[in-house]
A and B are shown apart, each in its own frame.
Chain A
Amino acid sequence: MHLLTYALRRLGQALPVALLVTVLIFLLIKLLPGNPAAAILGDRASDEAVRALNHQWGLDLPLWQQYGVYMRNLVTGDLGQSLRYRTPVAALLPHRMVVTLFLVVYSLLLSVVIAVPLAIIAATNRDRWPDQAVRALITLPLASPTFWVGILLLIVFALKFRWFPAAGYGEGFSEHLRALFLPALTLANPFTAVLARNLRSSLIDTQRTTFVDFARAKGLVPRDVLFRHVLRAALLPIVTLIGVRLSYAIGGSVVIETVFALPGLGSWMVESILSRDYMVVQTLTLAFALAAILVNLTTDLIYPFLDPRVRMG
């Protein structure tokens, strides 16, 4: 059962990485100049308060024991307390994660919906004006800061035309769709550009292959040639691309959520940084990392379903 061994092998690769990531993020907070507890509590905290917090977090233990405590807490679901909201992180996490996930998936769908037709237009009209137009259109988002594009979209569509809310998440599913449209579109920007550019290249390369020639030689109509042969072959490398870029997209949510005031993981991370809630920052970094690992694993596992060559590999 080739598929199963492949899946197990991938899983076996992902787990050690996940583990090492926890080590990395655990060590990250050591970058704080001085004592984390002191940094968090601020200059006006008493020595006792600092010592108490230190002890509570086990910061007076040797390093490897600290890691042990850290991992134990992680596994038992004790993710600490948000100093700002005075509630356990674990309680706030799910809802925030849902918002971010919604945003990321939404933006992915928008990307595909926009990029695929653009790429097809560009590839089938190679070097003529539609191709040049698409290529020019694609380059701009890659060069601009995503958050700035978001602000521009805000100015035009939310403030001027009032088609979409300028901030917030809204109540109810349809409200969510409306509220998340501009942020998702903004987040989709860089990925759409990369996707369209790569897909265009892939389509052009595929069009010149021998099996496409043979498909034409046996008398297939162009539409069949395009969809059954060219597109299928050209889309395969894109799937891996999605996995990679999704990681960037997840990171991008940090800024987008801030621009559009969405109650997701990203904006929470920024708030925590500004309020020096460093333990939460650490936990959220880990959450982002694990989410990204999961996404990559998923795309890797989907790939064999699309490409029979990998199944037999």
Chain B
Amino acid sequence: MSTLAQRAVASLPVKPRLASGLVIGGSMLLALAAAALLAPALSSGDPNAQNFEAILQAPSLAHPFGTDNFGRDVFTRVLYGAQIDLRIGVLAIIFPFLFGSLAGAVAGYYGGWVDAVVMRTVDVITAVPFLVLIIAIVSFLGSGEMNIFLAIGAVGWVTYSRLVRGEVLREKNLEYVAAVRSLGFPRRRIILRHLLPNAVAPAIIFLASDVILVILTTATLGFLGLGIRPPAPEWGMMISEGREFLSSGWWVAAMPGFACMYAGLAFILLGDGIADILRVRGQ
């Protein structure tokens, strides 16, 4: 490409979609989080309140999402379910992000047998399909929120380590690293204060998709009857329970799914927005 064209392409106008992704996704998320936190105020207050006079009622003003086969208000359950799924989604990724990034950075920087050990471990864990491994671990450990965190912590870190290692390998050869080393800085300091901040960019971008992944995995576990114990209003479990009355009460299974989709969309938009910002700034 000609010199002028190259320079022009490198500074293409920032599309309006860029800022809007962050704004829309962020506000959707805030709305959801607020709704979840204010669940007691916004809804009937008790997700487990049964009412046999109002079984399987279609959505109405009194029950915006209808009721299920126990007469429980689906809207209330979805809001309380948001607390569960969002909480797990956000908390479960913390360890994988921290541990995975560090492992990847160390592996990439030191190379040699350290790299081999870390990457071999990553390969082995990646070899088993994600969902299968999570299900196997959770089925052996038993149900409960803690076990979901354990399973995801044990498996979820590998993607982060791959991403960060790739960046570190690339950065390692850049000139500023040689400059810093020639000043005699110890390697640990180089990793922590110079390489890591730059190398975690792709890991941060991946965070948003990872939250979605965790939420969907939690829902899947709930759907299969693993993970959260009933009668907790976890979205996946609600969908599973609603399966039995698809013809008589489709809303029981459908509504939690829409909530999930809403949350997923919010995170995707947020993630794209963050990615665009990080990419643009990197230029």
Direct contact of A and B (CB under 8 A): yes
Task: Give the docked Cα–Cα distance between A302 and B247 (Å).
Answer: 46
B115-143 contacts to A (CB < 8 Å): 120, 123-133, 135-137, 139-142
A-binding segment of B31-39, B91-99, B198-206, B212-220: B212-220
A217 within 8 A of B: no
- On chain B, the residues within 8 Å of A32 by CB distance are 140
A-binding segment of B55-63, B165-173, B261-269: B261-269
Interface pair B254/A152, CB less than 8 Å apart: yes
A-B contact pairs, 13 of them (CB 8 A): A25-B128, A28-B140, A31-B137, A31-B141, A143-B264, A145-B219, A149-B257, A155-B254, A248-B130, A251-B133, A258-B224, A259-B243, A281-B139
B226 within 8 A of A: yes
B14 within 8 A of A: no
B163 within 8 A of A: no
- Interface SS, B side: helix
Interface pair B123/A17, CB less than 8 Å apart: yes
Interface pair B250/A292, CB less than 8 Å apart: no
Task: Give the docked Cα–Cα distance between A148 and B85 (Å).
Answer: 15
- On chain B, the residues within 8 Å of A278 by CB distance are 139-140
B233 within 8 A of A: no
User: Which of A145, A258, A270, A285 has most chain B Cβ within 10 Å?
Assistant: A145
B246 within 8 A of A: yes
Interface pair A139/B254, CB less than 8 Å apart: no
- Given A33-B142, A247-B129: A20 touches B136 (CB 8 Å cut-off): no
Please, how many residues of chain B have a CB less than 8 angstroms from a CB on the other chain? 49
- Interface SS, A side: helix
A118 within 8 A of B: no
Interface pair B132/A269, CB less than 8 Å apart: yes
- On chain B, the residues within 8 Å of A254 by CB distance are 131-132, 135, 224
Interface pair B261/A140, CB less than 8 Å apart: yes
- On chain A, the residues within 8 Å of B139 by CB distance are 273, 278, 281
Task: Give the docked Cα–Cα distance between A33 and B216 (Å).
Answer: 27
Chain A positions near chain B (C-beta within 8 angstroms) = 16-18, 20-21, 24-25, 28-29, 31-33, 127, 139-140, 142-149, 151-152, 154-155, 159, 208, 210, 247-248, 250-252, 254-255, 258-259, 269-270, 273-274, 278, 281-282, 285, 288-289, 292-293
Interface pair B129/A250, CB less than 8 Å apart: yes
Residue of B nearest to A16 (CB): B120
- On chain B, the residues within 8 Å of A159 by CB distance are 246-247
Interface pair B124/A20, CB less than 8 Å apart: yes
Give the Cβ gap from B163 to chain A, nearest Cβ, in Å. 13
Residue of A nearest to B1 (CB): A210
B260 within 8 A of A: yes
* A144: contacting residue among B141, B246, B261, CB under 8 A: B261
- On chain A, the residues within 8 Å of B133 by CB distance are 251, 285
Interface pair B137/A24, CB less than 8 Å apart: no
B26 within 8 A of A: no
Task: Give the docked Cα–Cα distance between A140 and B253 (Å).
Answer: 18
- On chain A, the residues within 8 Å of B78 by CB distance are none
- On chain A, the residues within 8 Å of B45 by CB distance are none
- On chain A, the residues within 8 Å of B71 by CB distance are none
- On chain B, the residues within 8 Å of A140 by CB distance are 261, 265
Task: Give the docked Cα–Cα distance between A288 and B149 (Å).
Answer: 23
B20-78 contacts to A (CB < 8 Å): none
- On chain A, the residues within 8 Å of B228 by CB distance are none
